[in-house]
Amino acid sequence: MVRLCWSHRILLCLNTVAVSDQKMMDRSQTSENVPTDDFKPPRLYPSLPCIDRYDVYQPRKLQASLGSQPEGPQEDAQSDGGHIKMRARMLILEEQRQELLSINERWAKEYRTMVQYYKQKVRDLKALLHQSHGSPGDELRKVERLTLNFNDKLQFNAAKETKWAEDADAELLKAREEARALRAQNSSLTRRGQHQQEEIQRLNKALKEALLTAQPLGCSETLQDLWKHQAEVYKEDFLKERKDREKLKGKYLELKSRFIKVHNELCVFKPQATPQQPRAQRQRHHPGGEQ
C-alpha cells in the first residue's frame, strides 16, 4: 500500500514536471527574444538543501560554449542557450528521479519491516490466545464430548424410567390380583360365617326341643351344664372366626394401602417416562373402579 501511494505521488510529480516543461517550451518558442536568465525550476522536495542546479549549470555551460566558439550570429547563440537550458533541465529531472527512487526504496524497506513486525505480532497473539483458551478445535471437541455425555445420560435416564414404569405396572397388576383374591376370600368367609350362624341357630333350636321332650323337669341342672358347654363351644368358634376375620381384614388393609401408594407413585412418574404401553394395559380399567 505504501509503495503504491509513493508510486502514485511520483507519477503526479512527473506529470507536473512534464506539463511545466511543455509550457516552458511553448513559451520559449513564442518568445525567443525574451531573456530567460530569471528561470527558476520547481523544486520537488523543499526540505532538501537549497541548491539551484539550473543556476549552477547554466553559467558554466554558457562560458564553455562562448569560450570554444567564435563570435557568430545572434541566432546561433540563442539556439545554444536553448540546448544548454534543456540539458540542465534534463539533469535536474534525472537527479529528481534518483531522489524519488531512493525515497521509494526506503519506504519499501520500511513497509517490509512493518509487515514482518505485524506478522510476528499476529503470530504472538495467536500463540497467546492458544495458550490461554486453547485451540478452537479443542473447544469444539470438548463441546461435542459434553453433548454426547449429556445425550447418553438422557438415554440412560429414559431407559431407567421406562424400566421403573414397567416394574410399577407389574407390581400394580400383582396388587390388583391380590386385592381381588382377598375380596373373594372375604366374601367366601362371610358367606361361610352366615351359614355357620344359621346352622348353629338351627341346632340350638333342635337341641332345645329334644331336651324339652326327652328329659324330665327335674334335670334342669344337667340342662344348664349342657347349655354352658354349648355356649363355650360357640364362644370359642366365634372368637376363632373373629380372629381370622380380623387377620384377613388387616392383611386386606395393608394390601390396599400398598396398592394406593404404588398407584400414586405411578401417576407421578408415568407422565415423565411416557413409555409405550401394551394394548392390554391400556384397556385395563382405572384402579378406582375396581375397589
pLDDT digits (tens, 9 = 90+) for 43-71: 444 444 444 444 444 444 444 444 444 45
Burial class, 261, CB count within 10 angstroms (exposed 0-12 / middle 13-18 / buried 19+): exposed
State pTM to two decimals: 0.29
Asked whether the CA dihedral 62, 65, 66, 67 is positive or negative, the reply is positive
Number of folded domains in the chain? 2
Can you give the residue range of the structural domain that contains 191? 161-290
Terminal Cα-to-Cα distance of the chain (whole angstroms): 92
Question: What pLDDT, on the 0 to 100 scale, is given for residue 20?
Answer: 59
Does any domain span residue 34? no
Show the DSSP H helices in the chain as ranges. 2-30, 53-68, 74-133, 136-214, 220-273, 279-282, 287-290
Q: How far is CA 270 from the centre of its chain?
A: 31
Place of cell 518558442: 29
Per-residue confidence band for 11, with pLDDT thresholds at 50, 70 and 90? low
Query: In whole angstroms, what is the distance from residue 158 CA to residue 208 CA?
Result: 74
Does any domain span residue 137? no
Same domain for 186 and 99, yes or no, is no
Question: What pLDDT, on the 0 to 100 scale, is given for residue 75?
Answer: 61
Same domain for 13 and 110, yes or no, is yes
DSSP state of 39: -
Does any domain span residue 63? yes
Taking only the tens place, the pLDDT of each residue in 178-199 is 888 888 888 888 888 888 888 8
